[in-house]
């Protein structure tokens, strides 16, 4: 009886771990490093989101890595989704707060480098190879202090 219970527990644990691994394998993430002198308004960061399934639904998240000398409390982004042929299916304006009203940086970080991840939407029936384009919409031509911009897609 004892070995039967142990076998069941091991089987359930293995099934749970296998289920967790499937989402990790099917997920997508990538970061683009921005120039030290800043992110120009005209510079659009384009990501090609791929996953094992030809079509998947999941959460689209944007991540920013910034320095402690970033001059604003938030960042306004345009996030555009397109199919593999480049036809735009959705365009959103997203405001991501980077600091609270007292100036303390949100997210995680060590020293003068910080990262914040924000969910920008749910994608239904995303075709692998689809594009996600991101640009800033701040009232400044060249935005200093942002080191990297990234995209996560989690089914």
pLDDT at 103 over 60: yes
Better-scored residue on pLDDT, 15 or 43: 43
Asked if 97 and 114 touch (Cβ cutoff 8 Å), the reply is: no
What Rg value do the Cα atoms of the chain yield, rounded?
19
Model confidence, pTM: 0.80
pLDDT of residue 5: 37
Mind listing the pLDDT tens digit for each residue in 114-145? 999 999 888 777 778 889 999 999 999 999 99
Average pLDDT, the chain: 83
Strand-pairing partners, residue 40, are: 142
Give 59-87 pLDDT, tens digit per residue: 999 999 999 999 999 999 999 998 888 88
State percent of the chain over pLDDT 90. Answer: 55
**Confidence category of residue 26, pLDDT binned at 50, 70, 90:** low
Whether the predicted pLDDT of 19 surpasses 70:
no
């Amino acid at each position: 009886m004892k070995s039967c219970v142990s076998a069941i527990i091991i089987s359930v644990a293995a099934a749970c771990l296998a289920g967790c691994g499937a989402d990790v394998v099917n997920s997508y993430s990538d970061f683009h490093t921005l120039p030290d002198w800043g992110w120009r308004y005209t510079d659009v960061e384009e990501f090609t989101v791929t996953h094992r399934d030809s079509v998947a639904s999941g959460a689209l998240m944007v991540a920013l890595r910034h320095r402690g000398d970033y001059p604003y409390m938030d960042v306004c982004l345009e996030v555009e989704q397109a199919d593999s042929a480049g036809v735009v299916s959705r365009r959103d304006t997203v405001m991501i707060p980077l600091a609270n009203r007292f100036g303390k940086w949100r997210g995680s970080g060590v020293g003068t480098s910080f990262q914040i991840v924000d969910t920008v939407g749910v994608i239904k029936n995303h075709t692998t190879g689809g594009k996600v384009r991101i640009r800033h919409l701040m009232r400044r031509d060249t935005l200093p202090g942002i080191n990297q911009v990234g995209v996560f897609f989690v089914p």
